[in-house]
Amino acid sequence: MCLPQAIATAAGMKLSGAALAMANAQFAMSALTIGAQFLGQQKQADALYEHQERQGERQRQIAADAARHQYMGLLKRQSQAKEAAAQDVQSALSKTMQANAAGRVAAAAGGVSGASVDEGVSEFGRQFEQYTANRMTNLSWEEDQILASMAGVEAQQAGRFEASIGNPIAQPNVFGALTQMGASAFDAAGFWGTQF
């Protein structure tokens, strides 16, 4: 017994002969159309999902590459800042030592010695220490800015990663397709059936 016949019988109608054949043909055509639509929707949803996944992966790779390049630039900047600070301190030390030596030579040439010479030479040392402390403070601030920039890069990459996640893909509902098939069987039985 086919579905339109069972529905007609349950509804108190009769399908026989040509009416039964026509009801079955109408139901079969509707069922094929509904099935083809369901499969087409399923393939479309699968293709959309695959496209989103490929696009998301590409966006994540671009975000990772951009973050890596930014990190490399910031690390290079940090290294250069440390190197520049070390060179500045080394240069200041060299100048301090030269000033100390020149001051002692000038004092000795002028016949001056003692506490006043030592005090003058000590002033060069204090100035060097003050310069070094200031330079290290500036380096620390620059490094803090670089670290803040690195945190910004990390947050930006996280945002790009989050944005790369696709939207949920609506899948076709198999129960909806079955309901449509049942409705088409009712339609066929109602159209071709006759009251007892």
Q: CA 124 to CA 138: how far, in whole Å? A: 21
pLDDT number for residue 73: 94
pTM attached to this predicted model: 0.60
Predicted local confidence at residue 1, as pLDDT: 45
Quick one: pLDDT at residue 22? 86
For range 99-123, the mean pLDDT: 76
For 145-184, the pLDDT digits (tens) are 999 999 999 999 888 888 888 788 888 888 888 888 888 8
| Residues in Cβ contact with 85 at an 8 Å cutoff, skipping those fewer than 6 apart | 135, 136, 138, 139
Give the pLDDT mean for 62-80: 93
